[in-house]
Amino acid sequence: MYHEIKLLSSSFVLFLLFQFSTSTDTITSNQSIKDGDIVISNAKSFALGFFSPDNSTKRYVGIWYYKVSEQTVVWVANRDSPINDTSGILSIDRTGNLVIHDRRQNNIPLWSTNASALSAAAAAANNCSAQLLDSGNLVLFPGDSKRVVAWQSFDYPTNTMLPDMKLGADRRTGLNWFLTSWKSREDPGTGEYSYKMDLSGLPEFFLYKGSDPVWRTGPWNGLRWSGVPAMNPNSIFNVIYVDNDDEVSVIYGIHNASIFSRLMVNETGIVGRLTWHDGGRGWVGFWSSPKDTCDEYNGCGAYGDCDPRNASDFKCTCLPGFEPKSARDWYMRDGSGGCVRKRGRQVCGSGDGFVKVTNAKLPDTLTARADQKLGIKACKELCLSNCSCTAYTNADIRGEGSGCMIWYGELVDTREYTNGGQDLYPNIRSQKRVIKIGGWWQLLQRLSL
Ligand SMILES: *[C@@H]1O[C@H](CO)[C@@H](O)[C@H](O)[C@H]1NC(C)=O
Ligand SMILES: *[C@@H]1O[C@H](CO)[C@@H](O)[C@H](O)[C@H]1NC(C)=O
Ligand SMILES: *[C@@H]1O[C@H](CO)[C@@H](O)[C@H](O)[C@H]1NC(C)=O
Ligand SMILES: *[C@@H]1O[C@H](CO)[C@@H](O)[C@H](O)[C@H]1NC(C)=O
Ligand SMILES: *[C@@H]1O[C@H](CO)[C@@H](O)[C@H](O)[C@H]1NC(C)=O
Ligand SMILES: *[C@@H]1O[C@H](CO)[C@@H](O)[C@H](O)[C@H]1NC(C)=O
Ligand SMILES: *[C@@H]1O[C@H](CO)[C@@H](O)[C@H](O)[C@H]1NC(C)=O
Ligand SMILES: *[C@@H]1O[C@H](CO)[C@@H](O)[C@H](O)[C@H]1NC(C)=O
Ligand SMILES: *[C@@H]1O[C@H](CO)[C@@H](O)[C@H](O)[C@H]1NC(C)=O
C-alpha cells in the first residue's frame, strides 16, 4: 500500500494513469501506438511509449520502469531522430518492421527496426507482432511462433544495461553490443562516451570518449573484472561470463526480480551500477568508474604503476626493475612518459627475475596471452623461457588461483588497490634488445650534445 501511495504522489505516474489508453504488452499490425498510448509488460515492470526528457519538448519512443516513480528511461528507439510534436506513431509496417512516423513524413519512417529475417507472407497476413517483455526487452516476432526473434531491443542498447541483457562481441559476425551515453540529460541522442568490449588483446571493456580510451575494466579474472574490485560476487547478482570461439560476453542476472538495478554510462563519462531504493532515496550508486586519479587510462605511462595511496606524494611509481624515463618530468609530477629498465640489470636468460606487485590491476592485455590449463609454476617457466615475456600471473583468481596470463610487450596502465586486485610478477631482467637500443640511443644523444 505504501508503494501505491508513493506512486500516486508522483506527477509522472498521474500522467501515466490518466493520459494513456492502451495497456497491452503487444503491438500488432492492426494496433499501432500513438503518442500518449503506452504498452506495459505483463508483470508491469516496464512501459513503452512516447516521452520527452526533462527540459525538452522533443518526443522519443522509449522504454522506462513502470514502477519507479522517477522517470528512468532505459532504452530509446529514435534517439537521433526526435519528433517535434505529438503526432508520432509507432506501428508495424507492411514489411513487418516496427517503424516510427510523424504526421509529415508518411512514406519514409523516422526510425525502423530494419530487420531482415522477416517473412513477407507473415507480414502480408498481418501476423507480425512486437512484445514488451518483463525484462524490458522489446521483441519483434516474425509470425505466430514466439520461438523466432526477428529483432530485439536488447541487441541495440542505448546507455543502459539491464539484467539479462548481453554486452560483448560476437567473434564470428563482429557484432558488438555496447553502451553509448546520451548527449545530455535533455538529449538522448548518441553521445561521445561508449562502454565497449575490445578484442585486440584479451577481452576487456573500455570506456571511450570518442575513440580515446578513458578507463578500462581489465581482463576477467574468474570472479570479476580485474579493474572493478567493488564487483564482488554476492547473493544479488549471478554473472555469466562467456569466452569461446563464437562470442565473448557478459550477462548480469538478478536473483530477485523486485530489485531494480542497471548499469549505465552517463553523459559525464561515468560508467556505473545503480540500484533503486524506495522511501525517497531513489537511485543509489553500487559502484562507478573512473573513480580515483589512478583510473585514468595510462596515466603513468609504460611500466609505470599508479598508487592512489600516495596522495601526498606523486601517484606514479615505476614497476620493480624500472626507473622514470625522464627524471625531470617525474620531478614535475608528469608520469605520462613512463619508465624504462634500470641499467645494469641481469640479462635475460640468466635466471630468476621477478618481483611481486600485490593488489594490482592487471596491465592492458593488448600483448597478453592466457592459458587456463597452465599452473603458476609452468607459467613462470614459460615466462623465463622467452626474453619477450614482461610479466606473468594467474588467469583466474578463484580459490588458490589457476591458469596463466603472460604479457609479451610493454606493461601499460597498471595500478594498485588498497583492497582487491591480484599479484602480478613483472620481469625485472633486462632484455638484450632493449639494452642495445638504449645504448645506441644514449650514444646518439651524447654525440648530438
Ligand atoms: C488484422 O485485421 C485484419 C482486418 O481487420 C484481420 O483480417 C486480421 O485477422 C487481423 N489480424 C490480427 C493478427 O489481429
Ligand atoms: C532543467 O532546467 C532547470 C532550469 O534551467 C535546471 O535547474 C534543471 O537542472 C534542468 N533539468 C535537467 C534534467 O537538466
Ligand atoms: C524538427 O525541427 C527541426 C528544427 O526546426 C527540424 O530541423 C527537423 O527537421 C524537425 N524534425 C521533424 C521530424 O519534423
Ligand atoms: C534503416 O535502414 C536505412 C536505410 O538503410 C537507414 O537509413 C536507417 O538509418 C536504418 N535505421 C536504423 C534504425 O538502423
Ligand atoms: C497467420 O496467422 C494465422 C492464424 O494464426 C495462421 O493460420 C496463418 O498460417 C499465418 N500466416 C502466415 C503467413 O504466417
Ligand atoms: C525480493 O525483494 C523484496 C524487496 O526488495 C523482498 O520483499 C522480498 O522478500 C525478496 N524476495 C526474495 C525471494 O528474496
Ligand atoms: C553520472 O553517473 C554517476 C554515477 O552513476 C553519478 O554519480 C553522477 O551524478 C552522474 N552524473 C550525471 C550528470 O548524471
Ligand atoms: C610513495 O612515493 C614514494 C616516492 O615516489 C615512494 O618511495 C613510495 O614507495 C610510495 N609509497 C607507496 C605506498 O607506494
Ligand atoms: C616468445 O614469445 C613470442 C610471443 O608469443 C613469440 O612470438 C616468440 O616466438 C617467442 N620466442 C621464443 C624464443 O620462444
Q: What is the pLDDT of residues 125-137, one digit of tens each?
A: 778 899 999 999 9
Q: What is the mean pLDDT of residues 230-256?
A: 89
- Residue 306: closest CA among 354, 342, 360: 360
Ligand 2 lining (C-beta closer than 6 Å): 54-55, 185-186
Q: Is the pLDDT of residue 18 over 80?
A: no
pLDDT of residue 136: 97
Distance CA 124, CA 120 (A): 6
Binding-site residues, ligand 9, Cβ < 6 A: 386, 388, 408
260 Cα to the center of ligand 6, angstroms: 11
The protein residue with its alpha carbon nearest to ligand 9, atom 5, reads: 408
Residue 252 contacts residue 161 (beta carbons within 8 Å): yes
* Numbered ranges of CATH 2.90.10.10 in the chain: 1-154
Class for the domain spanning 1-154? mainly beta
* 111 Cβ inside 6 Å of ligand 4: yes
Say what the pLDDT of residue 312 is.
76
What pLDDT does 57 receive? 96
Say what the pLDDT of residue 433 is.
45
Q: Is residue 28 in contact with ligand 1, taking CB distance under 6 Å?
A: yes
Q: What is the pLDDT of residues 382-403, one digit of tens each?
A: 999 888 999 999 999 999 999 9
pLDDT reading at 209 higher than 60? yes
From 92, 118, 144, give the residue whose CB has the most ligand 5 atoms within 8 Å, as the site to mutate: 144
Residue 23: pLDDT over 70: no
Range 157-291 has CATH code 2.90.10: yes
Yes or no: say if 219 and 203 are a contact pair by the CB < 8 Å rule.
Answer: yes
Average pLDDT over residues 359-381: 96
CB count, 10 Å around CB of 72? 18
Whole-model pTM?
A: 0.86
Q: Residue 117: its pLDDT value, please?
A: 67
Q: Over 50: is that where the pLDDT of 448 sits?
A: no
Which bound ligand lies closest to the C-alpha atom of 57? 3
Res. 443: pLDDT tops 60: no
Q: Half-sphere exposure of residue 221, counting CA atoms within 13 Å on the CB side?
A: 28
Residue 2 has pLDDT above 50, yes or no: no
Q: Give one DSSP letter per residue of 86-152, joined into a string.
A: S--EEEE-TTS-EEEE-SS-SSS-SEE---S---HHHHHTT--EEEE-TTS-EEEESSS-SS--SEE
pLDDT digits (tens, 9 = 90+) for 272-292: 999 999 888 999 998 999 999
Residue 145 has pLDDT above 80, yes or no: no
Contact 32, 89 (CB under 8 A): yes
> Taking 50 as the threshold, does the pLDDT of residue 97 lie above it?
yes
Ligand nearest to the CA of 307: 8
